[in-house]
Structures are given as C-alpha cells and as structure tokens.
Amino acid sequence: MSTTAEVRRLTTPQDLFQAAAEEFIRAANDAVAQRKRFAVALSGGSTPRSLYTLLAANASPSLPWDRMFFFFGDERHVPPDHPESNYRMANEALFSKTPIPAANIFRVAGENPDASAAAGEYEKNIRDFFSAPAGEFPRFDLILLGLGPDGHTASLFPETQALQEKSRLVAANWVEKFKTSRITFTLPLLNAAHRLSFLVSGTDKAPALHEVLEGKAPGEEYPAKLVQPGAGQLIWFVDRAAASELSAAA
Ligand code: 6PG
C-alpha cells in the first residue's frame, strides 16, 4: 500500500460521512486559497450519496461555490436522466440543492452511443479546463473514490483493459460482467491528484478492503490497490463494518 495512505477508522456510516465532509471542505478551502479554484471528481454508486446529501444540508454560503468545479471519476454509459447515472445521483443529492453554477459542472456525455467518443470528449474537456497539453496529467485537488466488493474503483474493474492505460486521462472500459462499457478516469490521472478520499462502508466491503490494504493479490485482481498517488495524499475513510477484517494494527 502507498506509504502516503492513511486509514481513518470511523464507527458508524454517519461518522464516516461527517469525517469525509470535513475533509472535502478542508480540501476545497485549501485549493481555493492556494490555486484560486477547487477541481473535484465525484464518485458514483450508492455510498457517496450520503456525503453529497450532508454537504448540501450543511452548504455554508461561506464556501467558495463559484470557485468549485465538479467532474466525475467515472460514469455509466447511460443518459444523464437514467436511474444508473452518477450525474443524476449527484444532481439530485448535491447540485440541485447548492448554489453551484451550472457552468462549473462537467458531466460525461453518457448518452453518446459511442463510449470511446464520450471518453475522448471528456478528456478534451479536462485538458481544456486545466490547460494541460498532451502528455501532461492534470492534478485534481480532490478525487473521491469508492470500493466495489470485487476490489474495483471508479470503473477500473479487475482484469479490464483500462487498467493498462498509461497515457490517456479517460478511457471507455468494457466490463464483461455487466456487458456494458463504462467511462472512467485512468490510473495515471487518479494517481496525479493532490488528494484522494476513498469512502468504504458496510460489511460487504470488508473482504475487499482487507485484501486491498493488507493482502498480497496483484493489483490487476484488486484495482483499488493500484491507486498509489505519487505526491498526493490518500485517505481511506472506513466504518467499523468495512474494517471488520482488517488487522488491529492497520
Ligand atoms: C460507480 C462507482 C464505483 C463505486 C463502487 C462502490 O460508478 O459505481 O464509481 O466505483 O464507487 O462500485 O459502489 P457503492 O458505493 O454503490 O458500493
């Protein structure tokens, strides 16, 4: 595991979301103070919805909302109004309840029938935002990530092609078990971030979390292991249920 990884063990899911919300706000204020803007990539699935709801409920007017820019670490290959859309979930839980300017939200065009074209378009949007030329990996101020029971993160699933991507920022990744493509940040883009926060809650994640943090399996089988930021800070926010298979020392 990366030497920069920190595991914050919280008791309940509510404690986890509270701690993650505090880190989110700290990261936002630090980034705006140092770089005049906060560029964050949200994760999808079900776990982060509670974090987004908490951020919206405590949405302080003092937060620099107009300097905060929202991206997605991955997206399903569906339209933005589809029940499985990560954008739809974040819009319901956060964007629709906070004064974030619409121009500050960069969603993936999941409605594009050509997933590779959607990935290429998203990559261009990211490069344009950061003024990052080809060959350079932009540094997000914060990337939120989840952990699947199979050890995947973002849409980097075990033994899938996107795990091998070394130069692109965003890839269309065929996921055989779902018989669908996903659009996902690549490992070089994830690992360039200033900060990454994993949010892992629930007993069903305990075996994967143990393997990722303490096990010997290769990263191709547990892709979350491959999130190893060079100069970035990596924090795992885990609740007691998810941490139930970790050794006491971790
Ligand atoms: C997605 C996510 C994915 C998620 C994990 C955990 O698009 O589904 O980005 O990587 O974080 O699958 O999902 P849950 O939080 O729903 O368990």
Within a domain: residue 132?
Answer: yes
Q: Assign residue 199 the CATH number of its domain.
A: 3.40.50.1360
- Residues 128-156: tens digit of each pLDDT: 999 999 999 999 999 999 999 999 999 99
Query: Ligand 1 within 6 A of 85 CB?
Result: no
Q: What is the pLDDT of residue 230?
A: 84
- How high is the pLDDT of residue 2? 46
Residue 227 domain-assigned (yes or no): yes
Determine, yes or no, domain membership for 217: yes
In a domain, 250, yes or no: no
Domain that holds residue 114: 5-245
Is residue 57 included in any domain, yes or no? yes
Q: How many folded domains does the chain comprise?
A: 1
Whether residue 201 lies inside any domain: the answer is yes
Residue 12 Cβ contacting ligand 1 at under 6 Å? no
Closest CA to 20 of 232, 197, 233, 228: 197
What would the pLDDT profile of 155-179 be if each residue is shown by its tens digit?
999 999 999 999 999 999 999 999 9
What's the whole-number average pLDDT of the chain?
96
What is the position in ligand 1's atom list of the atom closest to the CA of 182?
7
Q: What is the pLDDT of residues 3-62, one digit of tens each?
A: 569 999 999 999 999 999 999 999 999 999 999 999 999 999 999 999 999 999 988 877
Q: Is the CB of 161 under 6 A from ligand 1?
A: no
Q: In what order do the strands lie in the sheet with 233-238?
A: 5-9, 233-238, 195-200, 142-145, 38-42, 68-72
Dist CA 58 CA 3 (whole Å): 33
Domain contains 231: yes
CA atoms within 13 A on the CB side of 221: 8
Judge whether 58 lies within some domain.
yes
For ligand 1, whether the C-beta of 138 sits within 6 Å is no
